[in-house]
Amino acid sequence: MLNKYARAFFTRVLTPFAAFLLRRGVSPDAVTLIGTAGVMAGALVFFPRGEFFWGTIVITLFVFSDLVDGNMARQAGISSRWGAFLDSTLDRVADGAIFGGFALWYAGQGDDNALCAVAIFCLASGQVVSYTKARGEAIGLPVAVNGLVERAERLVISLVAAGLAGLHKFGVPGIQVLLPIALWIVAVGSLVTLIQRVVTVRRESAEADAQAAGEAGA
C-alpha cells in the first residue's frame, strides 16, 4: 500500500535531484550501487553496536536512491531490463543488511536469542515474499495481490522504530521497546503476506490449468 502512494509523492519531490545528477554525468546504475553500499554501511556498522539512531539516519539518506535511480532512467530514456534486475537484486541485499544488523545486535550485545531469531525470520520472510511474486510472474501468472506488509511497510516500520529506539542513548527512557515490537509486527505481517501470495498463486495456477485443459479439449 505504501509503495503506491509514497513512491508517487517522493518521485515528484526527487525529480529535480535526479535531473541534477544526470546533468553531472552520473548514471542510474551508479546511484543504485552507491545507495545499496550506503544502506549496508549504515546497517552493518551502526546496528550491531546498538547505534540505532545514527544507523537509521545513514540508511534513510541512502534508501531514497531506490527512487532516484528509476527516476533518472526514465528522464534519460534509458530504462532497461538490466537496470530493473540490478535494482531489484540490490534491494534484497539492502534489506538483508538491515535485518542482519538487527540480528547481530541481539546475538551480541543485545543478548536476546528470541529477538535475534525474529530478526532472522524478518530477513528470510522478506526475501521469500519477494520471491513468490517474482516466481509466480515468471511462470505467467499475474499474482494479483500485494499483501499486508510489502517492502515499503517493512522498511518504514522497522526503521522508524529503530530510529526512535536509538533515542534511548540520548536519555529518553523506555523507548527502546519499540524495536522489538516493530520486529514482531514485521514478522507476523510478512508471514500473513507470504500466505496471501501463496494462496493467490495457487488459485491463479489452478484457474490457468483449467483454462488450458478446456482449450485443449475444445
Residues annotated within a binding site for a CDP-1,2-diacyl-sn-glycerol: 29-32, 70, 74, 80
Residue 95 annotated as catalytic: no
Which residues are annotated binding-site positions for Mg(2+)?
A: 66, 69, 87, 91
Helices 52-63 and 28-41 cross at an angle (nearest 10°) of: 170
Q: Which of 91, 95, 111, 209 is catalytic?
A: 91
56: cell is 537509521
Residue type, 59: I
Phi, psi of 108 (to 5 degrees): -110, -110
DSSP letter, residue 64 = T
Query: Are the C-beta atoms of residues 86 and 32 closer than 8 Å to each other?
Result: yes
107: exposed, middle or buried (Cβ count in 10 Å: 0-12, 13-18, 19+): middle
Which residues are annotated binding-site positions?
A: 29-32, 66, 69-70, 74, 80, 87, 91
Give the active site residues.
Answer: 91
